Structure 1
Amino acid sequence: MEILIAIIVGVALGFVVGWLVARSQSAGERTSTATKLAQVAAQRDATAQQLAALTQDRQRLVHEFESLSARVLEQSQKSLLDLADERFKRERQTADATLEKRELALKAMVDPLQNTLIEVKREVTTAERARLEANAALQQQLTTMREASDRLRTETSQLVTALRAPQVRGRWGELQLRRVVEAAGMLAHVDFDEQTSVTTDDGTLRPDMVVHLPGNKDVVVDAKVAFSGYLEAMDARDEPTRTARLDAHARQVRTHIDQLGAKAYWQQFESTPEFVVMFLPAETFLQAAMERDPSLLEHSFAKNVVIATPATLVALLRTVAYTWRQEQLASNAQQIFTAGAELHKRLGTMGRHLTDMSKKLNATVESFNKFNNSLDRTVVTQARRFAELQGIDAPIETPPPLEVLATPAHKPDLHAEPAD
């Protein structure tokens, strides 16, 4: 606009200079010059009017341009803020939806884990209770064993007179055997003669008792030993006769050892160790035979026969009972181990999902920050520069960056694959 004004002024000056030059010319030309000056004056006035109109148009255009620039800047700022807010809301909705899905997935994993923990706690409580009961029962059984030994020793002397008949003696031996089993608490793991028998080429073998051991093992017990020689020795009135009858008793025990060894029960029953237990109903029967035949135990071991009295058989059966309880405890421990392994596996899965969720949340935050930085660096900066050029004092606000990141679990155990 100033250039146009300068041109107009230059033209006017040109006319004035021309007029001054023409004035120095002849008088004949002055009239023409006056006419031209009048024309120049008229043109100057017209030019002045046009200049005034142009000045007014310039002021009006400047005012309209400033108003338009302010509106454009305001609309641009609002559009940028709306765009950023919309993008932030969209990212926030996406993050909220992802977080909600992860929370549901996490809850679906945590609920079974909670049930597993309850089961593990129940198994541990059961195992601890069983251990305490086993220890208490073992102490009680030791006391009961001593009492039973004393009681059986006393009853032996009282029953001597009632054991004269062979049938009574056999029935009494079986009864003593059953009472020993009851005292040991092993009825659930013992079969008596009416339940177990084996047919061989030499006939039917019917042991008095079969003790079941953990691991599907069996021990055969026989209670048919004869002790008539001992009873006769108790009735002897002189020492030579008593000694002779005790020698006969020792021979009866040795003979029965040979017979049991020849039956070889361990060949007829599967999973049976290579020995058979020979039960003597009273401690005194073994003591008397050992006094007359000190090599009796060595002979029985050579024949794969183990001699047991009520006290030693109770100890043997209680040991077997304790083994059964330990087998149960081992089974419970295996269940606890299985539950713990399953818990570890599920914790590992949960840890991997948690890490994946934290990575995706961090990726969402990182994407938002990148967009925010790009907006501030490329768009908002240019808008601020535009505002500065136009002298517009209207600050542009941008959303702050997100600085809170999800922290994944740092325990390596939770991310490791469970062992097979």
Structure 2
Amino acid sequence: MNSFMVSVLGLLLLFLLGFLLGGGLAVFLLRKREANTRAQIEEKFAAQLATREAELVALRDEKSALAIRRAELETELAAERTLFAERQATLEAARDSFADAFKVISADALAKNNQTFMELARATLESQQAAAQAAAKADLEKRQLAIGELVTPVKASLEKFEQQIGNIEKQRIDAYATLSEQVRQMSVAQLALRAETGNLVKALRAPQTRGRWGELQLKRVVEMAGMLDHCDFFEQESTSTEEGRLRPDMIVKLPGGKNIVVDAKAPLAAYLEALEASDESDKKKKLDDHARQVRDHLVKLGRKAYWEQFQPTPDFVVLFLPGEMFYSAALEADPSLIEAGVDARVILATPTTLIALLRAVAYGWTQQALNDNAERISALGRELYERIAVLGDHWASVGKNLNDAVSAYNKSVATLESRVLVTARKFQTLEVTGSDKAIRDLNPVEALPRAVQAVELLSKDEGLFKD
């Protein structure tokens, strides 16, 4: 009987020891998993984003990951609670099972000690159950606290991220509103520009208006270059030939009497039609026509040989295109247009290049004026030099006359003192003058006129005072 009781107690102790070891192992595994989870979360929060746009994308991704992780942690917590409930149910079932086993096995043998053993077993089980429940409860509270500590910063970070996302969204809305307003203003300006362009195109369709506009553009270019009207250039000058009357739009006068002929009657009709074309193929065709018309006009202008009618003139004529766009459009459609102009002795000129050409001509006129002024100054210098030489002769004569006058004065004073005043003073000694006033002594003049040292003022023959 005693050995049987010892065996039963041994089995109970082994069962309880296994139960305790299993619970401790489960707690250790749970803590290790918690440490791993915490390390993973800390590594995720250690990364930093490089740019703002990347930060926004990363924040959203991290938010989703944290939400998923939070759900996983909550799932694990629920699983731990379920496991705890299952273990508690297992303990209850084990207690009931042990109670039934004890009743069957020791019904007769332990009749007397049944109540004592059951009470002892119940007390032991209750104490173990209470300890296990307390440990599980403490562990659960600790886990809840740790999860709360992990979730709270995540919640704060998510709130901060949501605030940043809200600010970025607000800035995007404001920027979109500003951009929409700018696009609207650009649309209004484009419509106004299109209307003005349409009016200009309509006005330039008339040949007379187009020609007058080209002449006005030419006049503006000439004025900006500093070439005054009817001084350095002439408009609408013409000449008659066997083939008819040639009338260039402008003749630029060069220093030395030479001329440069400028023609401003460039064809623009095809280019204006290209501006109104709605189809790209039609627009390209019109631009090709524009280049061909410019080439044909180059050839015709070269055949007129203006340089033979307005001599002396360089053997070329300038074709003025009243806008850079006319030149660039023609050159884009026909890159060999410049070579064709050189072959026809026609130089294409836009407002920019013509201003540079006229500025060079104006500089030549300035240098010509400086040369003319230098010649006038040289003539004035020669004339002034000759007049100064004549004035030097006159001054030499004046100096010589002054010297002669001083010499004559000194001689007359000497004669007066030695021959006249000596006798006259005797009357005062004889007291027959009737006056107390004495005859004043006369002194000779010692100073002489200063001789002129400048060679230019000396007499051409002998100098100022040569005897």
- TM-score with structure 1 setting the length: 0.48
Q: Which has the higher contact order (CA 8 A, sep 6+)?
A: 1
- TM-score with structure 2 setting the length: 0.44
